[in-house]
Amino acid sequence: MFKQIVQLFSALLVVIGVITVPAQAQTIDTQNPYKMMEAVAQQTFDRFNQDQAQIKADPNYLKTIVTVELMPFVDYKYASYKVLGQYLRQTSKQQRADFVKAFEGYLVTTYAQAFTEYTNQKVEFEPARDFAGEKIVPINVQIIEQGRPPIKVQFKVRRLKDDSWKAFDMVAEGVSLLSSKQSEVTTLIRQQGIDNVIKLLQQKAAESIHTSSDKQSK
């Protein structure tokens, strides 16, 4: 169930850097976490719908959509450090940099693949609340799909030093995506070491995106 929710919502949240912000993204109000999340969601789905021809011609184009529309609004460095957990202090500066880069690429590919599950579900955000003085704000969302009960999800966003906000986690059905990834990654580090985990993430980041029609043809 959690896997299905992540697939449904991956287009809205990538866990974790700064890349060049495209012109359309510059109009998004990053000083307001509620407006930011709603605008990013709308912008992403609009891009997904308008570029269907390119996506069908090359599913890997979904990686471009994720990178351009989502990643500027995700604190992936903070999230990757959280995922490293107890091993953060045991890594060298270079290993940390390599892990952040590999984890970012892994997330891009993961969410791009999940984009293939999108079937025009409706997203309803809770009304904005007073966030003055808050450092972390939970934003509650409902995913509405005809014929199914609403799915409740919570996005967590954090205030940066310049008072802008970025997303860093999603909680679905009481399960934190960040915590689940931390458990998975720390187990692999313990078993294989940080360098092997970085290589594994790099390999997964390089994987091609496959649509349901691709899978059926095999």
> What is the rounded distance in angstroms from the CA atom of residue 54 to the CA atom of residue 85?
39
* Cβ count near 136 (within 10 Å): 13
> Averaging pLDDT over each range in 5-14, 115-124, 157-166, which range is the top one?
157-166
Residue 217's pLDDT is: 52
Question: Phi/psi zone of residue 183: left (φ > 0), alpha (ψ -120 to 50 degrees), beta?
Answer: alpha
Angle between helices 93-115 and 76-84 (to 10 degrees): 110
What does the pLDDT look like over 39-55, one tens digit per residue? Answer: 988 888 788 889 989 99
> What is the rounded distance in angstroms from the CA atom of residue 124 to the CA atom of residue 134?
23
Query: pLDDT grade, residue 20 (50/70/90)?
Result: very low
Give percent above pLDDT 70 in the chain: 83
Structure tokens at 59: 């599913």
pTM of the predicted protein model: 0.80
> What is the rounded distance in angstroms from the CA atom of residue 14 to the CA atom of residue 156?
11
- Residue type at 70 in one-letter notation: L
CA 34 to chain CA mean position, Å: 17
Residues 6+ apart with CB under 8 A from 205: 102, 105, 106, 108, 109
What torsion, rounded to 10 degrees, do the Cα atoms 106, 117, 73, 56 define? 80
Query: pLDDT grade, residue 213 (50/70/90)?
Result: low
**Cα–Cα nearest to 175, from 186, 184, 163:** 184
- How far is residue 94 from each of residues 85, 101, 130, 194, 213, measured CA to CA in Å? 17, 11, 40, 11, 40
pLDDT at 19 over 60: no
Query: pLDDT grade, residue 70 (50/70/90)?
Result: confident
Domain covering 2-15+29-207 in this structure, CATH number: 3.10.450.710
What average pLDDT does the structure give for the chain?
84
pLDDT at 123 over 70: yes
Measured in degrees and rounded to the nearest 5, phi and psi for residue 182 equal -60, -45
pLDDT at 104 over 70: yes
Residue 137's pLDDT is: 97
Query: pLDDT grade, residue 216 (50/70/90)?
Result: low
Give percent above pLDDT 90 in the chain: 55
